[in-house]
Amino acid sequence: MDIIEMIKYSVPALIVFFTAFFMMRYYMQKEARERKVDLVIRNQQTITPLRLQAYERLALFLERINPESMLMRVNQPGMNSQQLQSQLLATIRAEFEHNLSQQIYITPQAWEVVKNAKNNTIKLINTSADKVKPNAPAMELNRHILEKVIETEAAPSQAALEFLKKEVSTFF
């Protein structure tokens, strides 16, 4: 008889206990999900502007290493082709090093495209310089570089810039 009495009191108590346990667990999991969502939203509010700024800086980098704009900035009267080549390569290197940290805010594919644009621009300058005597006037190298850009229909940085624009458009 005592066992039946104990079961009469124990079963409802166990049912109440398990009901409370599962309800509390559900409530705690729901709270954890909500906190996680809030954290993600707050992180996005911080990270999105940083990512956009990184894309802006890399777009500026690509514009600055565009051979046409670089030649306008770097070419000085009295330079020979070897000096111009050295100055162009130093400019690209300095611009790239200045923007190295931006890679943590963009996709690996975008960073690879930016690096390829830099390398292809260097390659374009070096192959053009190979066709000109080192002591020739800088204007000769200038002409060869511009001819090469026209020949390929676009500077190496243009395709990379289009890729960055397309990637940024996915944010909106």
In a domain, 36, yes or no: no
Q: What is the pLDDT of residues 55-107, one digit of tens each?
A: 999 999 999 999 999 999 998 888 999 999 999 999 999 999 999 999 999 99
- 42 inside domain: no
Considering the domain boundaries, does residue 29 fall inside one?
no
> Which tens digit of pLDDT belongs to each residue from 130-171?
999 999 999 999 999 999 988 888 888 999 999 999 999 887
Give domain status of residue 44, yes or no: no
Tell me whether residue 105 is in a domain.
Answer: yes
Is residue 110 in a domain? yes
Q: What is the largest CA-CA distance in the chain?
A: 114
Burial class of residue 166 (count of CB atoms within 10 Å of its CB; 0-12, 13-18, 19+)? exposed
Q: Which residues share a beta bridge with 19?
A: none
Beta bridge partners of 133: none
pTM of the model: 0.74
Q: Which domain holds residue 100?
A: 49-169
Q: Looking at the 3D structure of the chain, how many domains does it have?
A: 1
Tell me whether residue 129 is in a domain. yes
Whether residue 38 is contained in a domain is answered as: no
